[in-house]
């Protein structure tokens, strides 16, 4: 880590815990049974892909869920709540670790995410001892705002260029081996870790 000056963190699975089964139960509860297979198989095509890459908005996403799911009359708030059931919490020890690293490294967040999940994160997941997301990261790079997804090399290139970070001085932490491989090909050091695994590695 001596040569590392920058750290790029993933969000889902690295910082925030995910519970696929809780999300499935939530969609089942509102009658969106056809959506369950998307969540169960971690599929990212169609409506979920379009939401995550910023090609569709929250209202359009909710309308599409109702169209796909025969007999589902859930309102937008219920659909968003069901999708948000995937995210559980960011444990305090991870936030404390981020705070301790911020003084030693330049840190940014890069996530394949969507406006529904990100709003939930902003509403309270990063709040700890009066801190918020901007206290941990100098910038957040989100797929739905950038209109591109990991592991596309362009998204990594964009982050490095925009932040002025050199690849060889940058560590990338992600729960996807495919994403880590893409980052490594650009010259970054990468760690394929989940949950608390990274706490003792940086």
pLDDT of residue 37: 79
Percentage of residues in the chain having pLDDT higher than 70: 96
pLDDT at 44 over 80: no
CB 75 within 8 A of CB 66: no
- Using CA atoms, how far apart are residues 60 and 56, in angstroms rounded to an integer? 6
More confident residue, 90 or 45: 90
- Using CA atoms, how far apart are residues 111 and 117, in angstroms rounded to an integer? 11
- Asked whether the whole model's pTM tops 0.85, one would answer yes
For domain 6-17+89-198, say whether CATH 3.40.50.1000 is its number.
yes
pLDDT of residue 43: 61
Query: What is the pLDDT of the chain when averaged over all its residues?
Result: 94
In which element (H, E) is residue 80 found? helix 76-84
- Using CA atoms, how far apart are residues 138 and 159, in angstroms rounded to an integer? 12
Three-state SS string over 178-191 comes to HHHHHHHHCCCEEE
Give the torsion through C-alpha atoms of 186, 158, 55, 8, to 10 deg.
70
pLDDT of residue 70: 86
**Mean pLDDT, to the nearest integer, of 186-201?**
95
pLDDT at 106 over 80: yes
**Mean pLDDT, to the nearest integer, of 17-44?**
86
Q: Where are the domains of the chain?
A: 6-17+89-198, 20-84
- Using CA atoms, how far apart are residues 49 and 46, in angstroms rounded to an integer? 5
Tokens, residue 129: 């001892």
CB 102 within 8 A of CB 134: no
- Using CA atoms, how far apart are residues 78 and 26, in angstroms rounded to an integer? 9
SS3 content of the chain, % helix, strand, coil (to 5): 50, 15, 35
* Fold equal for 6-17+89-198 and 20-84: no
- Using CA atoms, how far apart are residues 110 and 40, in angstroms rounded to an integer? 24
For domain 20-84, say whether CATH 1.10.150 is its number.
yes
Band the pLDDT of 56: cuts 50, 70, 90: very high
């Amino acid at each position: 880590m001596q040569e590392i000056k920058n750290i790029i963190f993933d969000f889902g699975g690295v910082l925030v815990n995910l519970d696929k089964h809780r999300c499935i139960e939530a969609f089942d509860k509102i009658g969106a049974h056809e959506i369950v297979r998307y969540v169960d198989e971690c599929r990212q095509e169609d409506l979920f892909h379009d939401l995550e890459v910023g090609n569709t908005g929250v209202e359009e996403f909710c309308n599409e869920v109702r169209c796909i799911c025969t007999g589902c009359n859930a309102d937008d708030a219920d659909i968003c709540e069901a999708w948000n059931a995937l995210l559980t919490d960011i444990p305090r020890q991870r936030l404390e670790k981020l705070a301790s690293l911020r003084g030693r490294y330049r840190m940014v967040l890069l996530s394949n995410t969507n406006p529904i999940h990100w709003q939930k994160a902003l509403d309270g997941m990063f709040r700890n001892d009066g801190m918020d997301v901007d206290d941990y990261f100098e910038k957040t790079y989100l797929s739905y705002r950038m209109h591109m997804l990991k592991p596309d090399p362009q998204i990594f290139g964009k982050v490095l260029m925009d932040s002025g970070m050199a690849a060889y001085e940058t560590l990338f932490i992600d729960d996807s081996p495919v994403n880590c491989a893409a980052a490594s090909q650009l010259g970054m050091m990468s760690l394929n870790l989940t949950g608390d695994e990274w706490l003792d590695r940086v």
